[in-house]
Amino acid sequence: MQTSETRVHKAAPGLASDRPQRWRRLLRLQPPTAADVAADLENESWVPLFWFRVALILLAVGALLEEPFLLAVASALLVFIAVAWAWNALIPFQLHYRRSFSETRAFLGETITLTLAVHNRKPIPLSWLEVIDTFPTNLPLDGVRLTASPGSNLGEYLSFWRPGPYQRLTRTVTITCTQRGYYSFGPVTLKTGDGFGLFNRRLTLAERQYLIIYPRLYSAAELHLPSKSPFGKRGSQLPLFEDPLRPAGIREWEATDSLRRIHWKATARHQRLLSRRYEPSDEPQVMIYLNVATVARYWEGAIPELLERAVSVAGSLAALAIEMRLPVGLLANAYWPGSDQVLRLLPGRRPDQLVRILELLAAVTPFAGRPVEELLSREAPRLPWSATLLVVTAVTPAELLVTLLALRQAGRQIALFTLAPEPPPQPLPGLTVYHWPHLIEDVIMPERVCP
pLDDT in tens, 179-199: 999 999 989 999 998 887 788
Is the pLDDT reported for residue 346 higher than 70? yes
CA distance 379 to 382: 6
pLDDT in tens, 420-439: 988 888 788 889 999 988 88
pLDDT, position 279: 67
Q: Where are the beta strands (DSSP E) in 153-284?
A: 155-161, 167-176, 181-185, 188-193, 200-205, 209-213, 242-252, 274-280
37 and 148 assigned to the same domain: no
How many other β-carbons are positioned within 10 Å of the β-carbon of residue 78? 16
How many other β-carbons are positioned within 10 Å of the β-carbon of residue 325? 9
pLDDT, position 447: 42
Domain that holds residue 270: 242-280
How many other β-carbons are positioned within 10 Å of the β-carbon of residue 416? 23
pLDDT, position 32: 39
Beta-strand relationship, 167-176 and 105-106: unpaired
Q: What are the backbone angles phi and psi of residue 27, rounded to the nearest 5°? A: -85, -10
Work out the widest C-alpha separation in the chain, in whole angstroms. 119
66 and 121 assigned to the same domain: no
> Is 203 inside a domain boundary?
yes
pLDDT, position 18: 42
CA distance 15 to 24: 14
pLDDT, position 131: 95
> Is 270 inside a domain boundary?
yes
- Specify the amino acid at residue 321: A
110 and 256 assigned to the same domain: no
> Is 222 inside a domain boundary?
no
> Is 140 inside a domain boundary?
yes
Per-position DSSP letters for 79-137, written without gaps between them: HHHHHHHHHHHHTTTTEEEEEEES-SEE-TT-EEEEEEEEEE-SSS--S-EEEEEEE-S
> Is 449 inside a domain boundary?
no
CA distance 282 to 234: 14
pLDDT, position 8: 55
Segment 5-33 shows an average pLDDT of 41
273 and 397 assigned to the same domain: no
Please tell me the least confidently modeled range out of 3-7, 88-92, 148-152, 304-308: 3-7
H-helix segments, 324-346: none
> Is 448 inside a domain boundary?
no
> Is 107 inside a domain boundary?
yes
Burial 118-140 (b: 16+ CB within 10 A, else e): bbbebebebeebebbbbbbeebe
Segment 5-23 shows an average pLDDT of 43
CA distance 295 to 369: 14
How large a percentage of the chain has pLDDT more than 70? 83
* Sign, CA torsion 354/360/362/365: negative
Is the pLDDT reported for residue 314 higher than 80? yes
> Is 445 inside a domain boundary?
no
300 and 432 assigned to the same domain: yes
337 and 353 assigned to the same domain: yes
pLDDT in tens, 45-88: 556 677 777 878 888 888 888 888 888 888 888 888 888 888 88
Give me the number of domains the chain comprises: 4
| Long-range CB contacts for residues 306-309, cutoff 8 Å, separation at least 24 | 306/394, 306/419, 306/440, 306/443, 306/445, 307/364, 307/366, 307/394, 308/180, 308/215, 308/216, 309/394, 309/419, 309/439, 309/440, 309/443
Cross-strand partners of 414? 389
Give the closest residue to 184 by CA, choosing from 153, 217, 142.
Answer: 153
Is the pLDDT reported for residue 33 higher than 70? no
CA distance 194 to 196: 6
Segment 170-178 shows an average pLDDT of 95
Cα 425 to Cα 420, 422, 428, 443: the distances in Å are 11, 8, 9, 21
312 and 364 assigned to the same domain: yes
Per-position DSSP letters for 25-50, written without gaps between them: HHT--SPP-HHHHHHHTTTS-SHHHH
Among 197, 213, 229, give the residue marking a domain's end: 213
* Sign, CA torsion 57/60/64/67: positive
pLDDT in tens, 197-214: 788 888 888 889 999 999
H-helix segments, 329-379: 353-362, 372-379
Query: Of 255-259, 298-302, 308-312, which one has max mean pLDDT?
Result: 308-312
Among 280, 307, 329, give the residue marking a domain's end: 280
CA distance 290 to 141: 31
pLDDT, position 92: 83
Q: Please state, rounded to an integer, the average pLDDT across all residues of the chain.
A: 83
How many other β-carbons are positioned within 10 Å of the β-carbon of residue 426? 11
